[in-house]
Structure 1
Amino acid sequence: MSVHPPPASPGDPPPASPVTVLIADDEELTRTGLRTLLSARPYLDVVGEAADGTEVLPLVTRLRPDVVLMDVRMPGMDGIEATRRLRAALDDPPKVVVITTFESDDHVYDALRAGADGFVLKRAPADRIARAVHLVATGDSLLFPDAVRRLVTARPSPPGPLPPLPLTGRETETLRLMAKGLSNPAIADRLTVSLETVKTHVSNVLMKLGARNRTQAVIVAYESGLVVPGNDT
């Protein structure tokens, strides 16, 4: 049976330098399908494939993709450990989007804590997967904030009170808006400040929380009680 790539969506991002992508999945059929749907988008360029987590770091070092679309469960080395190794070995690692079968999987939470930037379901529509990769590449908003919130809040609460986060008032406001999934321009509009000011606030939040990306910062915000489910929408 032949596979025809889907047509580009009218809502696709405008043409620019394509985002380069490495696909990591142990199932060849899945890799082929993902390559087909991503390559149909002019703003995405699949530059390689890995069949196991052990192949990811050598391929990333050689190909320098912008984003790794990483299966969370692989034999040999899973996507969690592969993500950790990327973060530990490279000064400027690629973004990582975990692709998974089950949204509530503890492995997804562990991958986000290891430094993955977001996740998407394998059964998601082609447009959603492609846009997830593109969104993570831009790096200025949170991928699927409601799903991240559900993952974090499903975890047991830590015992006892936690120390307050070492953030200024504006940085706290910025983090709360990040938890809603707002992009940097949207945060700038909400706070009536410049885009450069928001970028500075976001950078300070990540540095003070020891977070590698927005997703990790938002996880810390939920785990610390700064952002409370039900009060963040």
Structure 2
Amino acid sequence: MAINNPSSLFILSWLLAYCILTYSANASSKTSNKTSTTTYPRSSSKLMNQIDSCWRSNPNWASNRQALADCAIGFGSSATGGKYGPIYIVTDPSDDPINPKPGTLRYGAIQTQPLWITFQGDMSITLENELMVNSYKTIDGRGARVEISNGPCISIDGVNHVIIHGISIHDCKPGRPGMVRSSPDHVGHRLGCDGDAISIFSSSNVWVDHCYLARAADGLVDVTHGSNFVTVSNNYFTQHDKVR
């Protein structure tokens, strides 16, 4: 069919050009979307909180464990623990509250110099009496399943700069009166602890993070007698009459 009207010919040409341009744009958009999806896949990683993202995002965190001390937040953010000391590795799960052996948790915890305490592997520790943690100590359970249970548990009494991270503390019982060593040079008579999972008494710059706390005869974390600059973060509290 012949079209002799110049106006009709112009309109037809314009419509044809519009259809071609629209088709090309849609095709380009589909190609672009496919390329974008392939080049930038949606991330499947979970969002981490501020403390986790500080250390867990580093795949080589185990080569610099003391960097965890820089991740504390809140009132206890200045707690250094054993940041400026060597690594001490717990190899022996036994316990002697008066004369602890090298390689045990208690031996490391009572030393006077800063220590970053780690564990050789999975370990279940039943303390014979409350564990007196000295100043400038970190108890770091990352990389192992570490349980302190079925006996007296942890006392942080009159000390400073303590970090406890990644430990399972449960089924804690009252301690009996008796002699307990608190440093290499001092062993004294204790009246017996109440059965807290972690007792923080007249201490400062303390950070308790990522611990599992359950079934203690008294409190799970007890912060008393003028303790200050304390952060308790990201812990799991369960199976206790004060936990709802």
**Structures share a fold, TM > 0.5?**
no
Q: Which structure features the higher share of strand residues?
A: 2
Q: Which structure features the higher share of helix residues?
A: 1
TM-score by length of 1: 0.30
TM-score by length of 2: 0.29
